[in-house]
A and B are shown apart, each in its own frame.
Chain A
Amino acid sequence: MEAVLSLFFIHTNMFDIFQYGFILRGLEAGLIIAVIAPLIGIFLVLRRYSLIADTLSHVSLAGIALGLLLKINPIITALIASISSSIFIEKLRINKKVYGESALSIFLSGSLAIAIVLIGIAKGFNINLFNYLFGSIVTVKQIDVYLIGILGMVVIGLIIFFYKELVYVTFDEESAKVSGINTNFINTLLIVLAALTVSLAIPIVGILLVSALIVLPVVTALQFKKSFKQTILIAEVISIVSVFLGIFVSYYLNLATGGTIVLIALGIFFLSLFF
């Protein structure tokens, strides 16, 4: 850590970074993503739903490919694809027509197939698609920051409003139902919020790494064996530190942003195992 920090000061003034609009946009969007990822992550991890983040990110890839092909903002097409798929996945799970995991793998491979076909039709995309795959703050435009900001607030607001219900359903769905909670609504809400979070996080960490940002800080925080609220708080700190440090380090050392963020989160996770 000290070596990295000294590198900053030797080569450049630390605050030079803020001169660049794309860095500022990346930091703003990154902060919102860092806050909402563990908020959704804690419910997904505890319900053994972690894989859904991966599935929804691949569904988002199909949406992004469509957006690039039709020259529409890819975040918007990704949002539409992932939210509509998330509702459909939940319907399949409730109807018990297919096993939960099978529904996820059908959507994961199906949407990857759609994405590949769309990329083929477009005869390959430019560097843009690569940025969405692995995450790059260069991809984040001002309009994206607004979109991430507004929808991020919606996610935070809904989680605070339905916090009690979400915790109860996650802990014991049957008892929650007997308490009068509409569990179908809460389950659908959770999966739609997960879809929103995944699609919004893609520009920063990329399709292939988005589930890591949702899962890793929560799994790390769980190692400390604290109460529910304290666990969320620890996960938030880990997530924000990982995203900010990741953006700074990737900028100064010229590394890929998404990969750096996830590697830092992974490093904190391994450290937590020693506690």
Chain B
Amino acid sequence: MQIDHSENIVELKNISFAYGGKNVLEDITFNVHKGDYLGIVGPNGGGKTTLLKIIIGLLTPSHGTVHLFGQDICCFNKWSKIGYVPQKATNFDNSFPLTVEEVVTMGRYGKPKNDKIVLQSLKQVEMLEFRNKLIGDLSGGQQQRVFIAKALAGEPEIIFLDEPTVGVDLKTQEQFYRILKDLNKKLKLTLVLISHDIDVIASETTEIACVNKKLIYDNNPENFLRSEKLKKLYGSGVKFVFHTH
């Protein structure tokens, strides 16, 4: 199946955001196209999470417009097209009485009940055998896979992931990124991944957006990261280490 990369799923125009009188984001304009695997990188406090929250309507920008699937965010109502894996997904109470299956079923909110899709989503992230366990009894990496399954269960067209591998061991991280790559390549899912790990973004994603109050966008992550533009964003004296697969 050919993907039409010219179709815009997210359109940001001149987005600025100020918090407590301080500018966090300035004049950000870019689009996410259908089938993209966009990585958003940037230093801590550079505004990555703020930008993501603006895109999905959790924060309102001071200036600029956000369109999702061609609809202005203010009146957007096709929420079932969107999957979201938040940064602090692992921060809930470990004694929260929800089983893995109950969590994934939540992902189908607003859609008809369909146990088959729920189980299939769990299978996709290799977590089917854990379906009757309490979410709090799983390791951080396993919980994050469940949250991906929850996003998948809603059969979205785009999934936003905010630092999904924080606190997850290296081996599990690799498995996690393999699953994401498969989703993007095989299911043609559009992905937007926020990470502070430039190495991961360079090797995994197909486009890159660097955010440090302002934004530099490129559709060739590896070349971009070797270029001078990045130094401007992070400041000089920063060393980046790459590895290729």
Contacts and interface: CB of A to CB of B under 8 A. Distances in A.
In which size bucket is the chain A interface?
20 to 34
A171 B86 contact: no
A46 to B, nearest CB: 6
Nearest to B99: A227
A168 B109 CA distance: 9
Nearest to B105: A164
Contacts of A225: 95, 97, 134, 137
B56 A178 contact: yes
A225 B93 CA distance: 12
Given A164-B109, A171-B98, A228-B102, A46 B93 contact: yes
Interface string A208-236: 00000000000000100111101100000
A127 B170 CA distance: 68
Contacts of A2: none
Interface string A224-260: 0111101100000000000000000000000000000
B92 A171 contact: yes
Interface residues of B, number: 25
Interface in B82-122: 82, 84, 86, 89, 92-93, 95-99, 102-103, 106, 109-110
A99 B97 CA distance: 27
A6 interface: no
Contacts, number: 63
A177 interface: yes
Interface in A150-171: 164, 167-168, 171
Contacts of A180: 77, 79-80, 109-110
Contact of A228 (B79, B97, B110): B97
A77 B56 CA distance: 43
Given A175-B84, A179-B154, 18 more contacts: A46-B96, A167-B106, A172-B86, A172-B92, A174-B84, A175-B86, A177-B58, A179-B79, A179-B110, A180-B79, A180-B80, A180-B110, A225-B95, A225-B97, A227-B102, A227-B134, A228-B97, A231-B97
Interface of B: 56-58, 77, 79-80, 82, 84, 86, 89, 92-93, 95-99, 102-103, 106, 109-110, 134, 137, 154
